[in-house]
C-alpha cells in the first residue's frame, strides 16, 4: 500500500461523516491490520477494521477505499468508496484540507430485467488529512 501522506482522514458531506485511520491503533490482532474506518450516515453507523473489511485499491485517480455497508443478497448490496489522493504538507501541527467524493454503489439483488447491475450515488466531501499519534 502506498503512503497517502497522512495517517488519518476525516470526510464530511451531505448527511455523511467518515473517519479513516490508515493504521490500526493499539495492539493489532491478526486479521485486523490495515486501519479503521468509521462510517456515519443514514445508511447506518458502522466501524470497519482491517484488510478483511476495508479494501484499498491504488489507481490513477488516487486510492479507492471501499467498505461493504450491506452485503449483496436478495434485496441487493451497498458499498461505499472514498477517493483519497496523495497529500503533501501534513504535519503533526497542521492538517491539509481538500475536496473529494464518496461513491455509493447499489446492486439490484436478484431482480432480473433490463438495466444496469449497479447504480451510483456521488456525494461531495470536504476532507482533512492529519498526522496523529495513535495509541499503543
Q: What pLDDT, in 10s, does the model give residues 76-129? A: 899 999 999 999 999 888 999 999 999 999 988 776 678 888 999 999 999 999
C-alpha to C-alpha distance for 13 and 27, rounded to whole angstroms: 32
Residue 8 has pLDDT above 90, yes or no: yes
C-alpha to C-alpha distance for 37 and 7, rounded to whole angstroms: 12
Q: What is the pLDDT of residue 30?
A: 65
Residue with cell 453507523: 45
Lowest model confidence (mean pLDDT) among 8-12, 29-33, 98-102: 29-33
What whole-number percentage of the chain has pLDDT above 90? 57
C-alpha to C-alpha distance for 99 and 22, rounded to whole angstroms: 18
Q: Which residue has the higher pLDDT, 53 or 74?
A: 53
pTM score, whole prediction: 0.88
- Cβ neighbours around 20 below 10 Å, total: 25
Instruction: Give the cell for residue 75.
Output: 434485496
Amino acid at each position: 500500500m502506498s503512503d497517502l501522506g497522512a495517517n488519518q482522514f476525516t470526510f464530511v458531506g451531505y448527511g455523511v461523516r467518515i473517519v479513516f485511520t490508515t493504521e490500526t491503533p493499539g495492539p493489532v490482532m491478526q486479521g485486523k491490520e490495515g486501519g479503521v474506518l468509521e462510517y456515519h450516515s443514514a445508511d447506518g453507523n458502522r466501524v470497519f477494521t482491517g484488510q478483511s473489511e476495508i479494501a484499498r485499491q491504488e489507481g490513477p485517480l488516487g486510492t479507492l477505499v471501499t467498505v461493504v455497508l450491506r452485503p449483496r443478497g436478495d434485496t441487493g448490496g451497498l458499498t461505499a468508496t472514498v477517493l483519497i489522493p496523495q497529500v503533501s504538507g501534513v504535519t503533526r501541527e497542521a492538517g491539509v484540507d481538500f475536496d473529494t467524493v464518496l461513491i455509493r454503489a447499489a446492486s439490484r439483488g436478484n431482480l432480473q430485467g433490463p438495466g444496469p447491475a449497479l447504480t451510483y450515488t456521488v456525494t461531495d466531501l470536504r476532507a482533512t488529512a492529519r498526522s496523529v499519534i495513535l495509541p499503543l
